[in-house]
Amino acid sequence: MSKKKIAIALLVVSTGMFFLTGCYKVKTLVIQNSGEEVTTIVSISKEIIPIFSKSCSVSGCHSSGGIKPDLSSEKAYSTLINGNYVDAANPDKSEIYLWLTGKRNTAMPVGSASNPSNINQLILAWVKQGAKNN
């Protein structure tokens, strides 16, 4: 094989490797005070809504007919998106994130020293990943 053909083959292989590795890039977010990283796609249905159901959409809080936003499992996504609680252009300025972290008022959920399962960081990662209904 000539040097020219070897150079072309190497260029083709390295270009292919570049594109293949670029296809699987996921945003990484360090979870506060834990050293853990969110390196996978955050699912609102599998990760966030179960936390809302346990800690937020309980009677008298963020449930249907309660305090806004309605974080019940069937309404959480549409309420967050349509109620302007999510700002995908500025995720750390999203209303939901500001309320969870206590930058708007009392940190949510009320009465707990820290919220469960690092919901702040999960919400922030979810918004940074495009706030998809997944």
- Closest among 127, 134, 133 to 87, alpha carbons compared: 127
Calpha distance 78→47 (Å, rounded) = 16
pLDDT of residue 26: 42
Question: Band of the pLDDT at 20, cuts 50, 70, 90?
Answer: very low
Q: What percent of the chain has pLDDT over 70?
A: 70
Helix (H, G, I), strand (E, B) or coil at 30: strand
CB 129 within 8 A of CB 41: yes
Is residue 7 situated within a structural domain? no
Calpha distance 88→90 (Å, rounded) = 5
Q: How far is CA 9 from CA 2, 16, 19, 68, 110, in A?
A: 11, 11, 16, 60, 61
Is residue 22 situated within a structural domain? no
Calpha distance 21→88 (Å, rounded) = 25
What's the structural domain count of the chain?
A: 1
What residue numbers bound the domain in which 36 lies? 27-128
pTM of the model: 0.69
Is residue 101 situated within a structural domain? yes
Is residue 3 situated within a structural domain? no
pLDDT digits (tens, 9 = 90+) for 24-83: 444 444 444 454 556 689 999 999 999 888 888 887 789 888 889 999 999 999 999 999
Is residue 20 situated within a structural domain? no
